[in-house]
Amino acid sequence: MNNKTNRGMVYLVGAGPGDEGLLTLRGAEYLQSAHVVVYDYLCNEALLKMAHNDAEIIYVGKQAAAHTLSQEEINQLLIDKAKEGKNVIRMKGGDPFVFGRGGEEALALVESGIEFEVVPGITAGIAASAYAGIPFTHRGVATTAGFVTGHEMAGKEKSDIDWDKISGLGTLVFYMGVKNLPVIVEKLKKTGRKGSTPVALVRWGTRSNQQTVTGTLDSIVGEVDNVQLKPPALIIVGEVVNLRSKLQWFDNKPLFGKRIVVTRSRTQASFLCEKLKRAGADVLELPTIDILPLSDQSLIDQEINELEKYDWMVFTSVNSVDIFMERLFNSGRDVRSLYLLKLAVIGNETAKVLKSYGLVADLMPGRFTSFAVVDEFKKIQCTLNRKNVLIPGSLIAGDVIPEGLKEMGADVHTVAIYENRLPQYRVEQIDKIFQKTPDLVTFSSSSTVNHLVEILESLGRMEYVKAIKGASIGPITTETAVERGIELALEAKEHTINGLVDEILKNSTGV
C-alpha cells in the first residue's frame, strides 16, 4: 500500500458476492495489510481471516444486534481512523459503487482531504445470476440490461425510476426488492411487460446456501410466498431466465446444500475443504488438532548433524516432512545432505509434500497404515540388519513402525518434533456448528475423533455426539469412532483424503 502523507488511506473494497474466491487479488492484498477493517452485513466474514492478526475489525452492518452506526457515523469513523495514520479497508458486499453507498463515503473522504482508492468487486447482480445459470445478456435473447433498485418505492409518492424507459430492457436485475416484489411486478406489467415474462429470485447467491425461485411475472409473487423467501435476494426479469434450465451448474453440484464439518488440523484441512467446496458442500471447519512444533528441537538438530550415519528415514505425516525440513534448512543445510538416505513415507500426500522439496520417496506402501510400512519393508526384502533408521514425528507416535523395523534388525531412532494439541473453543462456536445438525462430520484419524469428543464433553455438549453422522478415512479411525459412540455413515475405501472425498461423493444422494 502506498501512503503519501502521514495520514492513512481509505480503500473502498468490493468484497464480492459471498463466495470467498470471488474477492479480487487487489482486494485480498489490501485486506492483508490493513490496520483497520470496517465491514458490513453482506461481506462474507470468512474473508476476515485474511486480515492481519493485529488488525482492528469493526462491524457496521445493519443487522448488528446491539449498536448500529448511521451512515454519517460510518463516514466519520473512516475519517477518524485515517487521520490516526491508519490504512483503512472499507469492505462492502459486491461492488462498493453499486447500491453500496460507496459514492457517499468517497465524497465524505474527499471533503475531509483523505486519500482513497476504490477496488471494484463483483456485484451480486452479475455473480448471483451467473451462479444461478442465468447469463446477464445473451445474443438474440437480451441485448440490453440494467440494474435497478427495488427499494425506493416504499412509501414514495413519485418514483425516481422511469418505469416506461426501463421496462423494455432485455434483462432487469432488481437489488433490495424482495419486499416490493408485488409492486415491481405490477409496474412492469403496466408498462408493457407480458405476464409470461420469466422471473427468478436468487437469495444468497454464490454461497453454499444459495436459493433460487423461478416463475413468471404472473406467478412469481405466489412462488416466493410459498417458500417464504427472505432478503437478501435479487430479482432477475427477462427471457434470459429460461436459460437456467440448461445452464444450471452450481446449485446442482453433488454436495450442494450439504453441511459438512471438517475436523482436520488447521494446517491440513485446506485440501479436504477445497475438494468438498468444489463439490458444492457448505464446509464448516472445526479443527480438532493443533499441530505445534516442539519448542525444544535440540534432539532432531543433533541427528541432523549426523545424517550421514543414517540409511533410511521414515516420514509418517505431512507435518513431519515440513517440520523436519524447516530444521534442516535452519541448520544451514539443504536437501543435498539427504542424498545418501532412502526415504519411506505413509500416504501419497506425504509423498507429494516430500516431492515439493525435490525428494522422491523410495518406499510408499499402497495402504496408508503403519503396519503396511513394515510389510512393505519386508516385501522389498531389503536387509535392515544393522541399518540406521531415523523417524522424526509426533510426540504421540505409535510404536508399530519402530518395533517392526527393530525386529528386522534395524537400529531405530524416533525423535519427536511436534505435538498434537487440543484447540480451545467457546461453546457458542460449537453451537453455531451443531445446533442445526450437520449432514456429515469427517474424521481423518483417530485423534480427530477423540479430540472432537473431548471438546464436546468439556463444553457439556455430549448430545451433539449422538447426532453426528461420521465419514471415516479408514478402519482404525472407524474403530475409534465406534468406541466413542459415533454413528458412521461411511468409510473410505482408499484411506486417503481423496478416497474419503470419493466415498462422500458416492454416498451423496444418501448423505
Give the residue numbers marked as catalytic: 40, 62, 176
Q: Is 224 in the site for ligand SAH (CB under 6 A)?
A: no
Q: Closer to ligand SAH by CB, 125 or 365: give it.
A: 125
Q: Closer to ligand SAH by CB, 89 or 430: give it.
A: 89
Site for ligand SAH (CB under 6 A): how many residues?
24
In DSSP notation, 161-188 reads S-HHHHTTSSEEEEES-STTHHHHHHHH
Helix axes 446-458, 475-483, angle to 10 degrees: 20
Minimum distance, C-beta of residue 19 to ligand SAH, in the bound complex (Å): 9
Distance CA 212, CA 205 (A): 8
Candidate list 13, 34, 124, 500; residue touching ligand SAH; CB under 6 A? 124
Kindly indicate which of the ranges 76-84, 91-99, 415-423, 502-510 contains the residues binding ligand SAH, using the contact rule CB under 6 A.
91-99
Q: Minimal CA–CA distance to 145: which of 237, 21, 53?
A: 237
Candidate list 74, 114, 132, 234; residue touching ligand SAH; CB under 6 A? 234
For the sheet containing 10-14, what is the strand order? 56-59, 36-39, 88-92, 10-14, 116-119
Minimum distance, C-beta of residue 127 to ligand SAH, in the bound complex (Å): 7
Candidate list 9, 60, 98, 262; residue touching ligand SAH; CB under 6 A? 98
Residue 377 amino acid letter:
F
Candidate list 231, 254, 257, 293; residue touching ligand SAH; CB under 6 A? 231
Q: Which stretches does DSSP call E strand in 382-456? A: 388-394, 411-421, 440-443
Binding-residue pattern over the window 274 to 313 for ligand SAH, x denoting contact by CB under 6 A: ----------------------------------------
Nearest residue (beta carbon) to ligand SAH: 94
Distance CA 117, CA 100 (A): 15
Q: Is 232 in the site for ligand SAH (CB under 6 A)?
A: yes
Kindly indicate which of the ranges 95-103, 137-145, 218-226, 453-461 contains the residues binding ligand SAH, using the contact rule CB under 6 A.
95-103
Q: Is 93 in the site for ligand SAH (CB under 6 A)?
A: yes
Q: Is 133 in the site for ligand SAH (CB under 6 A)?
A: no
Minimum distance, C-beta of residue 321 to ligand SAH, in the bound complex (Å): 40
Residue 478 amino acid letter:
T
172 bridge partner residues: 146, 237
Q: Is 393 in the site for ligand SAH (CB under 6 A)?
A: no
Residue in this structure with the C-alpha cell 458412521, named with its chain if needed:
488
Q: Which residues of 27-37 are buried (b: 16+ CB within 10 A; e: fewer)?
A: beebbeebbbb
Kindly indicate which of the ranges 78-86, 123-131, 152-160, 269-277 contains the residues binding ligand SAH, using the contact rule CB under 6 A.
123-131
Minimum distance, C-beta of residue 331 to ligand SAH, in the bound complex (Å): 50
79-82-83-85 Cα dihedral, nearest 10 degrees:
170
Q: Minimal CA–CA distance to 260: which of 86, 78, 507, 446?
A: 507
Q: Closer to ligand SAH by CB, 135 or 231: give it.
A: 231
Contact between 129 and 172 (Cβ < 8 Å): no
Sign of the alpha-carbon torsion through 41, 42, 43, 46:
positive
Residue 377 grid cell: 519393508
The H or E element that residue 293 is part of is strand 290-293
Distance CA 56, CA 257 (A): 33
Residues 6+ apart with CB under 8 A from 414: 391, 392, 393, 397, 402
Q: Closer to ligand SAH by CB, 233 or 260: give it.
A: 233
Q: Closer to ligand SAH by CB, 89 or 176: give it.
A: 176
Judged by CB under 6 A, the chain residues 153 through 212 that form the site for ligand SAH are 175-176, 202-206
Q: Is 134 in the site for ligand SAH (CB under 6 A)?
A: no
Q: Closer to ligand SAH by CB, 233 or 359: give it.
A: 233
Residue in this structure with the C-alpha cell 410459498, named with its chain if needed:
226
Q: Closer to ligand SAH by CB, 99 or 315: give it.
A: 99
Q: Closer to ligand SAH by CB, 34 or 98: give it.
A: 98
Q: Is 34 in the site for ligand SAH (CB under 6 A)?
A: no
Binding site for ligand SAH (CB under 6 A): 17-18, 42, 92-95, 98-100, 123-124, 128, 175-176, 202-206, 231-234
